[in-house]
Amino acid sequence: MKTISIAKSFCGPPTSANGGYFVGRVGNLSTQTLTVRLIQPPPLETELEVAELAENLIELREGEKLIAQGRPAQLDLIPPPSPGYLQAVDASRHYYGFNQHAFPTCFVCGPARLRGDGLRIFAGPVAGSGIVAAPWVPEPFLDRGDGKVKPEFMTAALDCPGYSAVTSGPLMLLGELTAHVDRCVHIGERCTVIGWRIGRSGRRHIAGTAVFDDEDELCARAQATWIEPSSPAQFKQSSA
């Protein structure tokens, strides 16, 4: 039986995986673009069994507990243009998480993560645009061996900016993520990551995200569903 395990350094909340990184790991199991639905917070340092089912469906389980499902998808998403690296630098100064962050050790957007340890993608609002943006210069620890970023880290970069695009207050849970990496960026390349709101239905918020290279060419994109918990207790339970 094939398994995957998420190291504790790739956390979102302290005791569960960062959603984008986890989705990237699941995506590595398939040659197709997948929509990955998170049923339970993905545990850390735990062997998850991978089941490949009919119609190219993938399930990940911890014993009898269903953690996530992946299904083939087509991502028809056209991102807004990149605001450019320097404008992203300016926008990141207004990142909400510098003042208050529920999970400051998050692998992607946690300000408590040091260089060489986390992605440190701090997306803040771009004035008058309706998007958030962050600069990102991938560091050597993300190298897949050929001077480019591993695909799972590209997908991780597409996670938290979507959260920043739909809220700066209420805590939300990642419900599902559909990510597509057109090409992996180079280590040390000046990249721009953006997020924007697509829509809302009740407690469900839809966000888009994208990664652009130093030439402002699109390299990766994703669409996410973020869910407002029905109660604070539900969020605490889901994040534990």
Q: Which sequence spans correspond to the domains of the chain?
A: 3-72, 85-239
Record the pTM.
0.94
Rounded Cα–Cα distance for residues 160 and 122 (Å): 9
- Residue 183: HSE in the Cβ half-sphere, 13 Å Cα cutoff: 10
* Residue entry with tokens 């880290």: 153
- One-letter amino acid for residue 69 of the chain: Q
CA distance 210 to 39: 24
- Under 8 Å CB-to-CB from 45, ≥6 apart: which residues? 5, 6, 7, 8
Contacts with 48 (C-beta within 8 Å, 6 or more apart), sequence order? 3, 4, 5, 6, 42, 60, 61, 62, 67
Per-residue pLDDT in tens (0 to 9) along the chain, 240 residues: 899 999 999 999 999 999 999 999 999 999 999 999 999 999 999 999 999 999 899 999 999 999 999 999 999 999 999 999 999 999 999 999 999 999 999 999 999 999 999 999 999 999 999 999 999 999 999 999 999 999 999 999 999 999 999 987 678 999 999 999 999 999 999 999 999 999 999 999 999 999 999 999 999 999 999 999 876 554 444 443
**Angle CA 196–150–8, to nearest 5:** 85
Rounded Cα–Cα distance for residues 167 and 190 (Å): 26
Q: What spatial distance separates the first Cα and last Cα of the chain, rounded to whole Å? A: 27
The pLDDT assigned to 171 comes to 86
Q: How many Å is the maximal CA-CA distance in the chain? A: 51
- Predicted pLDDT at 231: 63
C-alpha triplet 37, 170, 95: angle, nearest 5°: 95
| Mode of pairing for the β-strands spanning 65-72 and 218-227 | unpaired
At the topology level, CATH places domain 85-239 in: Thiol Ester Dehydrase; Chain A (3.10.129)
Residues 29, 49: Cα–Cα separation, whole Å: 12
44's tokens: 């850390």
Spell out the residues 6+ positions from residue 232 whose beta carbon is closer than 8 angstroms to its own. none
218: left (phi over 0), alpha (psi -120 to 50) or beta: beta
